[in-house]
Amino acid sequence: MKKIVRSLVVVAMACLVGVMAGCGGGGGSTSASDTPAGSGNKLTLSVEAAPAGTMIGGIQGTITLPEGFSVLTKETSQEVLSESFSASGNATSSLTSAAFTKATRTLKFGVVNASGFSGGEFATLSVQTPAGASVNAADFALSENQVFDIAGKPLNLAITKK
């Protein structure tokens, strides 16, 4: 029974991630005048370690970018390109999805891992910066963050950015 519940939770989280990425209607790609994403234009997300015997199965949240910053999306949608938002660190094998709303500079993201991971770095966001600007983690706001264990139970773990 526990395996069935766990499987259903993982499927539900995967569907949520798919819905977030499926948002349509405008975002568009970043203009050529912006600085392309490089190693200096990355925001790394980490999560506190899960309690002993617990594995993190899913994380979702929202990142608000500073004025003038953007993220590369598929041509006419809000779906963020996989090279712009990807699983990293302890969650490298996780599934990710993200949608970027240009008008509000918000990126909604989801990371799902059926096997789970213990915590630490879980995602990297490559951003497009205005000319002369650089990524400063303090300028990005995190909100609506939720962390779940592999059984779908909420975990009270903090997410940090650097």
Unique residue bearing structure tokens 């918000």: 106
Supply 115's token pair.
């096997």
Render pLDDT for 61-117 as a digit per residue (tens, 0 to 9): 999 999 999 999 998 899 999 999 999 999 999 999 999 999 999 999 999 999 999
Render pLDDT for 34-66 as a digit per residue (tens, 0 to 9): 334 444 699 999 999 999 999 999 999 999 999
Render pLDDT for 124-141 as a digit per residue (tens, 0 to 9): 999 999 988 889 999 999
Predicted local distance difference test score (pLDDT) of residue 40: 60
Question: What is the number of structural domains in the chain?
Answer: 1
Of 7-11, 92-96, 142-146, least confident by mean pLDDT is: 7-11
Q: Which of 9-13, 30-34, 155-159 has the highest mean pLDDT?
A: 155-159
Confidence (pTM): 0.77
Range of the domain at 114: 2-161
DSSP of the chain, one letter per residue?
Answer: -HHHHHHHHHHHHHHHHHHHHT-BS---PPPTTSBPP-GGGEEEEEEPPPPTT--EEEEEEEEEPPTT-B--B-TTBSBBPTTTEEE-GGGTTSEEEEEEETTTTEEEEEEEEEEEE-SEEEEEEE-BB-TT----GGGSEEEEEEEEETTS-EE---EEE-
Model confidence band, residue 151 (pLDDT cutoffs 50, 70, 90): very high
**What's the CATH number where 100 sits?**
2.60.40.680
